[in-house]
Structure 1
Amino acid sequence: MKRALIVRHVPREGAAGYLKPIEAAGYHIDRIDVASRDFAAVDLCEPDLLIMMGGPMGVYEHDRHPWIPLQIEKLAARLDNDRPTLGVCLGSQMIAAALGARVYPGGHMELGFAPIRVNEAGAESPLRHVDGVPLLHWHSDTFDLPDGVELLASTDRYAHQAFRRGRNLLALQFHAEMGEDPRFEDWLTHFWADLDVAGQCGVALRRDHDDHGPGAVAAGRAMIGEWLAGLGKA
């Protein structure tokens, strides 16, 4: 059986709604937390599929999180070999950094459910499934677009919402995996300061989660399912 490895930067940010299409594509799923003492020995080139999820840290915060340079080094080796890789939020920023692009504070918080704008390339990619669908955004960092990749989607606040390189690399700044996972309450509890920065109300955000979450997850699953089906194809 094919093996997928999920790298979690904090336990409350897992693959959530993406688990179903990953399992349906025939992958056995393993997980590792970057806080684990085993992480330093993990070969990120080995899994058939690598999924790197989100987290509240910045890619540039090497002093606070000394595992970040190691992860970027390991990830760069995987990308050099064009191994199937998916990055979500912080994971997408890690991919950008591993490809040599700058990752930096964007100057404002993008938080809440809102649609992305898929461009012409995105409309011909698995991103077509999430075009116009209200999706969860929760970040304030962004990145320069790496060389050799194709931009797929933007929002008014952040131009770089998704990119790909060929069929085996997909980076997503937004959270189309979230909308039905009970860990959303943990996000509200642990990242409550972000709500103040973004001028968001927790009650309204819970309501939007209930209203938009199922549709976001359904669209996200369709996107990831199509992407997985195309891995390795010319």
Structure 2
Amino acid sequence: MKSAWVVRHLAFEGLGVFAEVLEQRGYRVRMFEAPVTDLAELDAGEPDLLVLLGGPIGAFDEAVYPYLAGVLQWVEQRLASGRKLLGVCLGAQLIARAMGGQVRPMGVKEIGYAPLTLTAAGRTSVLAPLHASIPVLHWHGDQFEIPRAPRTSRPPPPARIRLSPLATPCWRCSSIWKQTLGRSRPGW
């Protein structure tokens, strides 16, 4: 059975629809609570898939959440391993930071449902089932950018990059998925 390690930053954040998708794809899920787990003792390259969940924390908030420094080091190790990585919301911000990208406040909060509009690259990616589909929940106050990352979606204003592959096999997203994810990339 394939393994999926999930890093949770706050107890009320969970896998949501991802839990069913991972189960359907034959993954055994192991949850880690980032604030109380010594990630340095774990090999970031070990699981078949590493998922970094979100939360109402900024990727630059180490002063308030000192454990984030260790999570960033772990993300860097995972990226170096070349193994599958998915970042959702805060997880996506942490991937951006680990790659040297900017993460900063947007200046406004974006809360509500909106559809995703995919670029040409996005329409040929794992995100293709989401093009012009049902609206997804957006709950953002920060934005991030990755150096040299291909864009796969055009989010509604005011946010910037939201969904894009860093390189096969790493994905980051900042929308909260409600439906259609089960039709995503085979093999994940």
TM-score bracket relative to the smaller structure: over 0.9
State the distance in 2 between where 1:166 and 1:105 align: 25
In structure 2, the residue matched to 1:138 is 139
Bigger strand fraction:
2
**Aligned partners of 1:127 and 1:73: how far apart in 2?**
28
Is the counterpart of residue 221 in structure 1 residue 182 in structure 2? yes
CA-CA distance at 1:122 after TM superposition: 0.3
TM-fit CA distance, 1:230: 4.7
Does residue 43 of structure 2 align to residue 82 of structure 1?
no
* CA positional deviation for 1:38: 4.1
- 1:79 is matched by which residue type in structure 2? L
Contact 1:45/1:83 (CA < 8 Å) preserved in 2?
yes
Question: 5 Å matches for 1:60-209?
Answer: 60-132=60-132, 133-144=134-145, 146-155=146-155, 156-176=157-177
**CA offset at residue 221 of structure 1?**
2.5
Structure 1 or 2, whichever has the larger Rg, is 1
SS of aligned partner of 2:181? helix
Q: Is the 8 A contact 1:6 1:32 kept in 2?
A: yes
Q: CA shift at 1:3, angstroms?
A: 0.9
Q: Is the 8 A contact 2:117 2:153 kept in 1?
A: yes
Equivalent residue of 1:147, what SS? Answer: coil
Per the alignment, residue 4 of structure 1 pairs with 4
Q: Could you say what the CA RMSD is over the residues aligned between the two structures, in angstroms?
A: 1.5
Shift of 1:149: 2.2
User: CA–CA distance in 2 between the matches of 1:113 and 1:13?
Assistant: 19
Deviation at 1:37, TM superposition (A): 4.1
Are the structure 2 counterparts of residues 99 and 2 from structure 1 closer, same or farther at C-alpha, using a change threshold of 3 Å?
same
What is the number of equivalent residue pairs in this alignment? 186
In structure 2, C-alpha distance between the alignment counterparts of 1:27 and 1:102, rounded to whole Å: 32
- Identify, as 1 or 2, the structure richer in helix: 1
Which residue identity is paired with 1:135? V
Residues 3-27 of structure 1, C-alpha deviation per residue, up to 9 Å, x if partnerless? Answer: 1001111121111101112112111
TM-score of the superposed pair, with normalisation by structure 2: 0.92
Structure 2: 5+ residue stretches without partners: none
Segment of structure 1 superposing worse, 68-77 or 38-47: 38-47
Q: Tell me if structure 2 keeps the 8 A contact 1:153–1:159.
A: no
Q: Could you tell me whether the CA contact under 8 Å between 2:13 and 2:53 is conserved in 1?
A: yes
